[in-house]
Structure 1
Amino acid sequence: MNVLLRMFPAALVAAGVSGFASAETLTATPGQPLQALLDNARAGDVVELSPGDYHGSVRIDRPLQLVGRQGAVLDGDGADNVVTVTAPDVTVRGVTIRGSGRDLQAMNSGIFLQKTAERATIEDNRLVENLFGVYVHGARGSRVTRNDIEGLRGGRLSEAGNGISLWNAPDVTIDDNTFRYGRDGIFSVSSSKDRFINNRFDQVRFAIHYMYTNDSEVSGNVSIGNHVGYAIMYSNRLVIRGNISDHDRDHGFLFNYANYAEIDGNRVTGGPLSSTMDATDNGPDDERGMLPAAVRAGPLRNGPEKCVFIYNANHNKFRNNLFENCAIGVHFTAGSEGNEITGNAFVNNANQVKYVGTRNLDWSTGGRGNYWSDNPAFDLNGDGIADTAYRPNDLIDRVLWTAPAAKVLINSPAVQVIRWAQAQFPALLPGGVIDTHPLISPPPRRTAKEAR
């Protein structure tokens, strides 16, 4: 009878009907050799895991679906990859996957997608206690979505892997996943045309870490309480839109040799509970309850040190972003050229801008600059633009950056005379950032969805 059932799909194919339309569902039970069942499956079949624990590593070498019922667990028992995929068009869905090996050089992972595993779909899984959660090793066109990924904790950060790693994997979408623990949430190197959207990151080093990844998108992500929110390095032509960095420790955004990016509608906040949210309402950016209860319910420690750090990053467009309650709003250095910084709001940062250089940089475009919360200017004609230019730094700031011990003189009469002289005679001011058309009020807030 089973032979007849196998022959019937072949007849359908001969008649011009898709072979996958005849896919069978093969059900696995705990204690049954799962690899043998996968080896006996045909292209398009569904291998369904009944609730229970399945031990040992498995390999999928044909296009099929591995689907788990609630309570199905694949345990690698601490060796190698738990699931290795070599075939294209494979789906892994609804499975708890845990217990990979710990060999960083071997890239031991909960799910390892080899280069031939193109167009893989990894969705609705829970990946815990793996060195790497998902490793996309050249698998073009893959999609990783709605997974809960928890990395290793309790050891050295350098010995932990990433939630998702990509290497040379174009056209990959990573959407609506939750990341906790481990090294980086998402780490991408030598890739292109990828989309990292709507993900949530907590208690990792870098939420998103880009290296040599071009023509890609980072949108709608939320990073809370990590070392750095978004580290963009050696990458070109990115769209970075509608992301949140709340109480990340060192930097909300870090741009290092990043060029021709559009950075639009993002929010970086530190200090106490974000002023744009209250303790009972998640706020306009928290459309799906993405912010942890600890952030919504009360104050956290101060941070980050820098809302944005721009180092040798050129020809980028920073528009409509909010940088709030950081020690430094923007640290701008190392000869960054041709950047457009307009329509942003700098609110309650201890130092709005730290610019180490002697050039004059005008942070306004087309008669429109940025909003500065410490700018006491007037708008007598009511056009929304302050009547006088704004300079975030003066000669004294430069002295304090080069000689921090001079802080003891900050309130001395001599320092006050110098600052008064600079205000009366602008020609005395050194080169630096100037906003010739500062906004008199902050631009309207947009939700992450509107920014995208």
Structure 2
Amino acid sequence: MMHTLAKVGYHQSYTYFAWRHSPEELREYMEELKAAAHYMRPSFWPTTHDILTPFMSDGGWNAFRLRAILAATLSPIWGIYSGFELVEHQPRPGAQENIDNEKYEYKPRDYEGALRSGRSLEQMDSGIFVEQSAHDTLIEHNRLEDNLFGVYLHGAANAMVRHNSIIGRRGTQPGGVGNGVSVWNAPGAQVVDNDIRYGRDGVFVITSRNNLFSRNRFSDLRFAVHDMYANDSEISDNISTRNIIGYAMMFSKNLVVKGNVSDHDRDRGLLFNATNGSQISGNSVIGGLQPAERWATAENRGSDEGMPQTEKSAVGAGSGVRPGPEKCVFIYNTNNNRIFDNWLEGCEIGVHFTAGSEGNDIRGNAFVGNASQIKYVGSRHLDWSKNGRGNYWSDNPGFDLNGDGVADAAYRPNDLIDRVLWTAPAAKVLINSPAVQVIRWAQAQFPAILPGGVVDSHPLMAPPARRTAPESQAR
């Protein structure tokens, strides 16, 4: 119909751009419009009052930016509908259009208020915005509520954000929320003793160095602390509760991550992706049974930013609960770190260790009551002990006959059956079968047939001290 109308004189035509999302769809559609360029002038609109695709309603802030850029570069004629610059992305139930849109009512908008809170695409702003020239700025004793972005340190070196209460937007989709404190290229900046709740990430830092994030309290967020391309920094003594992921360190080096608590976060307590040459010590990840509705009603917000998708898990015995975090610690492509004196308890997996992580010194940690203490998918043999000191394993039945605090026999957290279950989870129905028990008995009698994996040659008989959230708050 669009082509027919254009041929009879309606040259400036509405298009199907709003529904073309994948690279393949966009390429195919642009070839179609290119062939009609001699009679049709296409107009690209990311949204209108009665068009709001799932890509836009789910993607929020980033989706609006992306589609505006695509529309402006792919077509000589493009436009946005009123409210686009405010990222209005709440759909009407059962329809791909904005709720309470202007087909049904007059809709005044607070553009100035949106600019001040960072909710507008028109310019970069936040509740408190600190520009690059404002180095050594002190931001303290403020209460910020319902801003898209709370505090933004945009290149402000040596700024200090302390003793603030930052409460993000509630009752909106994740795409419509921002970070409590954002730090970009602000060497020496510090974020200390703040309460941050609701929103995307509590502290998001990118392309910075020599920062300190300490003694903050985070809850009801995606990530408590999200560190990317930020080197030589310290993340210490923070408390993360009820978040999707506690502390995510990515593409950074020479970090000190110590004394932090992750208390019943959902997917992961600590996550390291391409984090190298760092000290990770004295942290506590505490898990346990959590309401299954946390997974049913909240989408997997930890799956973007290069993160693997959340894995499916069996519901707990109470049918309304399941263990979480799914992984106390996730280590991916992370090398030459010292990981010691951490307490990892009550997770589905204590440590998931994968993807070429090498040269890590892992000892003195406590693995307590995790459904599976270790998941290591490689074939190499890794000894998680050094200088006669390994880790504490709550399920280790070993003895210490000479009383030196170290078990008399090595501990292996996994065997051949575990590897089978990782690749074929449905095999769990056979876990108590006589055949499986015979295989495990044979492995115990003939260790040479054990597959590659983690071994602790000097397992500890007693764990290190555990830090808890109340203890951290009292410090």
Using the size of structure 2 for normalisation, the TM-score is: 0.68
* Structure-2 separation of matches of 1:206 and 1:166: 15
Q: 1:329 is matched by which residue type in structure 2? A: G
1:260: how far off?
0.9
1:156: how far off?
1.6
Q: 2:239 corresponds to which residue? A: 222
Helix, strand or coil at the partner of 1:129 = strand
Does residue 186 of the first structure (1) align with residue 203 of the second (2)? yes
* Structure-2 separation of matches of 1:248 and 1:323: 13
Q: 1:159 is matched by which residue type in structure 2? A: G
Number of positions where the alignment pairs a residue of Structure 1 with one of Structure 2 = 334
Output aligned runs, 1:50-199, within 5 Å: 78-81=113-116, 100-103=117-120, 106-199=123-216
Output aligned runs, 1:198-277, within 5 Å: 198-271=215-288
* Structure-2 separation of matches of 1:231 and 1:446: 19
- 1:108 and 1:131 in contact (8 A); partners too: no
* Structure-2 separation of matches of 1:345 and 1:104: 47
* Structure-1 separation of matches of 2:254 and 2:220: 28
- 1:233 and 1:256 in contact (8 A); partners too: yes
Helix, strand or coil at the partner of 2:324 = coil
1:425: how far off?
0.3
1:413: how far off?
1.0
Q: 1:327 corresponds to which residue? A: 348
* Structure-2 separation of matches of 1:393 and 1:404: 15
Helix, strand or coil at the partner of 1:79 = helix
Helix, strand or coil at the partner of 2:170 = coil
Helix, strand or coil at the partner of 1:185 = strand
1:409: how far off?
1.2
1:131: how far off?
1.1
Counterparts in 2 of 1:408 and 1:301: CA distance versus 1, 3 Å: closer
* Structure-2 separation of matches of 1:345 and 1:409: 30
Q: 1:96 corresponds to which residue? A: none
Output aligned runs, 1:346-361, within 5 Å: 346-361=367-382
* Structure-1 separation of matches of 2:429 and 2:114: 58
Q: 2:463 corresponds to which residue? A: 442
Q: 2:49 corresponds to which residue? A: none
* Structure-1 separation of matches of 2:381 and 2:421: 19
Q: 1:132 is matched by which residue type in structure 2? A: F
Helix, strand or coil at the partner of 1:179 = strand
Which digits, 9 at most, give the CA deviation of each residue in 1:69-91, with x for residues without a partner?
xxxxxx9952323xxxxxxxxxx
1:444: how far off?
3.4
- Residue of structure 1 aligned with 2:425, choices 391, 404, 415: 404
Q: 1:119 is matched by which residue type in structure 2? A: D
Q: 1:433 is matched by which residue type in structure 2? A: V
- 1:104 and 1:159 in contact (8 A); partners too: no
* Structure-1 separation of matches of 2:336 and 2:396: 27
Q: 2:398 corresponds to which residue? A: 377
Q: 2:357 is matched by which residue type in structure 1? A: S
1:301: how far off?
6.7
- 1:247 and 1:301 in contact (8 A); partners too: no
1:442: how far off?
1.0
Counterparts in 2 of 1:446 and 1:202: CA distance versus 1, 3 Å: closer
Does residue 305 of the first structure (1) align with residue 326 of the second (2)? yes
* Structure-2 separation of matches of 1:104 and 1:113: 18
Counterparts in 2 of 1:155 and 1:243: CA distance versus 1, 3 Å: same
- 1:199 and 1:220 in contact (8 A); partners too: yes
* Structure-2 separation of matches of 1:343 and 1:428: 28
* Structure-1 separation of matches of 2:229 and 2:122: 20
1:152: how far off?
1.1
4+ residue segments displaced more than 6 Å: 447-450
Helix, strand or coil at the partner of 1:80 = helix
Output aligned runs, 1:401-440, within 5 Å: 401-440=422-461
1:428: how far off?
0.3
Helix, strand or coil at the partner of 1:234 = strand
- 1:104 and 1:131 in contact (8 A); partners too: no
Counterparts in 2 of 1:416 and 1:104: CA distance versus 1, 3 Å: farther
Return 5+ residue gaps in structure 1 as ranges: 1-74, 82-99, 274-299
Which digits, 9 at most, give the CA deviation of each residue in 1:270-303, with x for residues without a partner?
1159xxxxxxxxxxxxxxxxxxxxxxxxxx9741
Counterparts in 2 of 1:446 and 1:412: CA distance versus 1, 3 Å: closer
Helix, strand or coil at the partner of 2:347 = coil
Helix, strand or coil at the partner of 2:150 = strand
- 2:157 and 2:189 in contact (8 A); partners too: yes
Q: 1:332 is matched by which residue type in structure 2? A: F
* Structure-1 separation of matches of 2:336 and 2:270: 16
- Residue of structure 2 aligned with 1:314, choices 315, 335, 343: 335
- 2:115 and 2:122 in contact (8 A); partners too: no
Q: 1:78 is matched by which residue type in structure 2? A: G
Q: 1:160 is matched by which residue type in structure 2? A: V
1:108: how far off?
2.7
Helix, strand or coil at the partner of 1:420 = helix
Helix, strand or coil at the partner of 1:365 = coil
- 1:269 and 1:325 in contact (8 A); partners too: yes
Which digits, 9 at most, give the CA deviation of each residue in 1:410-434, with x for residues without a partner?
1111111110000000000010000
Which digits, 9 at most, give the CA deviation of each residue in 1:380-427, with x for residues without a partner?
000000000000000000001011111111111111111000000000
Q: 1:280 corresponds to which residue? A: none
Q: 1:384 is matched by which residue type in structure 2? A: G
1:371: how far off?
0.3
Helix, strand or coil at the partner of 1:416 = helix
Q: 1:352 is matched by which residue type in structure 2? A: Q
Return 5+ residue gaps in structure 2 as ranges: 1-109, 291-320
- 1:266 and 1:322 in contact (8 A); partners too: yes
**Higher relative helix content:** 2
1:106: how far off?
3.0
